[in-house]
Structure 1
Amino acid sequence: MAGCCTSVCDFIVEYDTPRIVLIKNRKVGVVNRVVQLAILAYVIGWVLVWEKGYQEFDSTIGSVTTKVKGIAITNSTPLEEHIWDAADYVIPSQEENSFFVMTNVILTKNQVQGRCPELPNERTRCKSDIDCASGYYNIHSNGVLTGKCVKYNEEVKTCEIFAWCPVENDTVIPKPAILGAAENFTVLIKNNIAFPKFNFSKRNILTNVSASYLKSCQFNRKNDPFCPIFRLGDMVQEAGQDFQKLAVQGGVMGILIEWNCNLDQPPSKCVPKYVFRRLDNKNFGETISPGFNFRFAKYFRNTNGTETRTLFKTYGIRFEIELFGHAGKFNIIPTMINIGSGLALLGMATILCDIIVLYFLKKSNYYKEKKYKYVEDYELGIESETSYGATQNSGTTN
């Protein structure tokens, strides 16, 4: 216990100070310079130049609005001849950071509330009224059972329901897609961004363009990368997808707008970069409930006062727009912090070489003796020198 206390006391009252020892060893010297060069390359090349460690950064904030244009004409049952414009196929007309374009539809016209046979399946087929429990329904039903078993066609009987009749039959999806011409529709994407820390704002419609240019231009990554008007088919193609296949059951596409700006350069150099991605699962055969669809209805009232509706089961492509990025500008504080951190890292070279010299070389004990010098208390050293001098003088006198 006493020895332990002595060690603790010695540790408390001891003080160490660096001592410079010049070791002439080629291997260790080469290792030292290589490590120093590697650290300098990391600090200067990676931190300061590549990662722009001399700048402070701010993340972007912004807004996105869209406007889709294009017309298509169809002439197929049950639609007959029909012209489609943006008011028909963009549903709803405005969304935040997204838009939906209808590409396919199952149409059920002239529905009225009444009684009609349910679609045939394992739960709805019947032989007599006993098989149809009056008042029963579930989430998959088109209506409420009336308790009767009626003919669906000449071969099949199903339970009668109270519902919007005739009921929708969505077992067969139109193929090819009814609005396959949507491939040629275009969308204008207006994007405003700001970096509040630097009081900097900009939009993706460049300041030097004219109204006539916007009416005629179309985004092309090679020839016209700054036009804000995009063809739907081109965006899907850049994502590596086939528009006509995607249009049958719909899907979800991502439009990524990246603003990475170096504000030490002129503002004209701050421009957006567009990337297009398919976001949903494209393997329809391996996916339950694939694609993207929803239902809506348009309601009418006949001259006799009866309410009717046309039911749309709509398939299409939902485009999600994501805005991200950052801007950097020179600032002395991060510059000095990164330079200081780099200088501190240079000490790693000394530590590594010390480990090699003191623990792995054959002459490690010799180097330890040269590197470390143990000095006793200063006052004890004076007393020893005084005693030694007195002894010498006494011997001389004698």
Structure 2
Amino acid sequence: MTSKKPYYVSIIQCFFDYSTVKVLVIRSMLVGTLYRLLQAVVIVYIIGYVCVWNKGYQDTDTVISLVTTKVKGIALTNTSDLGLRIWDVADYVIPPQEENSFFVLTNLNITPNQTQSRCAENPGPGSTCSSDQDCKRGLHDSRQNGVQTGRCVHFSESEKTCEVLAWCPLEKKGDPPDPPLLSEAENFTVLIKNSICYPKFSFNKRNILPHVNSSYLSQCVFDRVTDPDCPIFRLRDIAAEAGEDFQTMAVHGGVMGVQIRWDCNLDLDESRCVPAYTFHRLSIKDPENNVTQGFNIRFAKYYKNEVGKETRTLIKGYGIRFEITVFGKAGKFNIVPTLLNIGAGLGLLGLVNVVCDWIVLTMSKCNKKCQKYNAMKYEYVSFLFTYTYSYLYIFTFF
């Protein structure tokens, strides 16, 4: 008669046991076809989308960028206020340099020969009067042009307004000229110099590509079809690329967006990493609601007259502001993201078994042939612990 092994021996032996999964092969045209089809879908997703299309085998980095601009062009105007005048880059680029943007003057209203003196305020709420009692000395409003002196004076033969201490004569009111005074601005060109860096990969490049030299820059103009590598852009072409008419936009001004996209696959040759340019209008164009439309700024040019008194020419300038945005992503092979994406994809293959098992078990409820699979898949065993053995097992385990 063999002696029974102590309970603790069986417990110790269980730590040295190895168990494996029992595999059942179901010969079914329906389930087998579905199983292979789902496997194919998962494999195509892993290889086609994750690895090839989404480049899941690469580590990625975002771009760091620097942009500078240089505008060139000359325009000629002949007005009653300024006479015959040449406008060069120092006149129409205001301010001379900005970060990731530039402004080009295209139209203007001019108020010449202003001096610090007294004159009648423009008619409007708070300025129209009938006597001096309607004007408050020292009152100034940010929506008016100066500080009231307390006197009510004639603005015209039929209208009186409060006198103000201001730059007189006051700024001319009215719509800007149409067509715009600087209509020749459509032929101005801008050189956009853009340097980018992907610090994770120690990769640097600029949009003036290696084959571009001084003689090439002196004559090239960007064209998406014939000359896509030229970093010099004609303002009219930028507006046309955005679906806008430059002359129409130049009357009241507006804001244009220039996007430079650097998407680089650093597993390929460095020469294939080139910028892609796109253009669009940022300022909203609404024919039905044209209040404060466009874009304008005010600036003045100061002089001393013959007697030494300071005078100025006030200019309300309308123009187009160009905002330059640089974005992009670079990728390069790295074993870590490769294994992570492949591992995550292979984990989806486990879902194929779950789906097929669920279908077969569902079918077994209404199909007697599938009940055999259900019986072989699960075995139910009843096992009872005595109170003492349960207590000893738990105590020994901990």
- Residue in structure 2 matching 1:182, options 176, 180, 185: 185
- Residue in structure 1 matching 2:158, options 155, 163, 178: 155
> Hey, what's the Cα distance between the residues in 2 that align with 1:225 and 1:197?
28
> Hey, what's the Cα distance between the residues in 2 that align with 1:79 and 1:166?
16
Instruction: Give secondary structure in 2 for the equivalent of 1:100.
Output: strand
> Hey, what's the Cα distance between the residues in 2 that align with 1:320 and 1:106?
24
> Hey, what's the Cα distance between the residues in 2 that align with 1:344 and 1:93?
58
Instruction: Give secondary structure in 1 for the equivalent of 2:218.
Output: helix
Show CA shifts across 1:327-362 (max 9, x none).
Answer: 111112211211111211111111111111112442
Partner amino acid, structure 1, of 2:378: Y
Counterpart residue number, 1:135: 138
Counterpart residue number, 2:37: 34
Q: Does 1:367 align with 2:370?
A: no
1:349-368 to structure 2, matched below 5 A, reads 349-361=352-364, 362-363=366-367, 365-368=371-374
Spell out structure 1 runs of 4+ moving beyond 3 A: 15-18, 363-366, 374-380
1:222-261 to structure 2, matched below 5 A, reads 222-261=225-264
1:281-300 to structure 2, matched below 5 A, reads 281-283=284-286, 285-300=288-303
- The number of residue pairs the alignment matches comes to 366
Show CA shifts across 1:194-246 (max 9, x none).
Answer: 11111111111111122111000000000000000000010011111111111
Q: Decide whether the 8 Å contact of 1:78 with 1:107 is kept in 2.
A: yes
> Hey, what's the Cα distance between the residues in 2 that align with 1:356 and 1:19?
19
Q: What's the offset of the Cα at 1:108? A: 1.0
Counterpart residue number, 2:331: 328
Tell me whether 243-252 or 154-163 shows the greater mean CA deviation: 154-163
> Hey, what's the Cα distance between the residues in 2 that align with 1:81 and 1:151?
34
Instruction: Give secondary structure in 1 for the equivalent of 2:149.
Output: strand
> Hey, what's the Cα distance between the residues in 2 that align with 1:76 and 1:379?
107
Counterpart residue number, 2:75: 72
Tell me whether 190-199 or 132-141 shows the greater mean CA deviation: 132-141
Q: What's the offset of the Cα at 1:149? A: 1.7
Q: What's the offset of the Cα at 1:365? A: 4.2
Show CA shifts across 1:297-335 (max 9, x none).
Answer: 122222323111111111111101111101111112211
> Hey, what's the Cα distance between the residues in 2 that align with 1:121 and 1:185?
40
Partner amino acid, structure 2, of 1:295: R
Counterpart residue number, 2:314: 311
Identity over the aligned pairs, expressed in percent? 54
Partner amino acid, structure 1, of 2:375: E
Q: Does 1:104 align with 2:110?
A: no
Q: What's the offset of the Cα at 1:287? A: 4.7
> Hey, what's the Cα distance between the residues in 2 that align with 1:35 and 1:259?
37
Partner amino acid, structure 2, of 1:304: V
Give the 3 Å change call, closer, same or farther, for CA 378–18 of structure 1 in structure 2. farther
What residue ranges of structure 1 are gaps of 5+ in the alignment? 1-14, 381-398
Instruction: Provide TM-score, normalisation by structure 2.
Output: 0.88
> Hey, what's the Cα distance between the residues in 2 that align with 1:274 and 1:217?
16
Q: Decide whether the 8 Å contact of 2:110 with 2:172 is kept in 1.
A: no
Instruction: Give secondary structure in 2 for the equivalent of 1:216.
Output: coil
> Hey, what's the Cα distance between the residues in 2 that align with 1:378 and 1:230?
86
> Hey, what's the Cα distance between the residues in 2 that align with 1:360 and 1:88?
83
Give the 3 Å change call, closer, same or farther, for CA 115–284 of structure 1 in structure 2. farther
What residue ranges of structure 2 are gaps of 5+ in the alignment? 1-17, 387-398
Instruction: Give secondary structure in 1 for the equivalent of 2:258.
Output: strand
Partner amino acid, structure 2, of 1:215: S
Q: Decide whether the 8 Å contact of 1:19 with 1:372 is kept in 2.
A: no
Instruction: Provide TM-score, normalisation by structure 1.
Output: 0.88
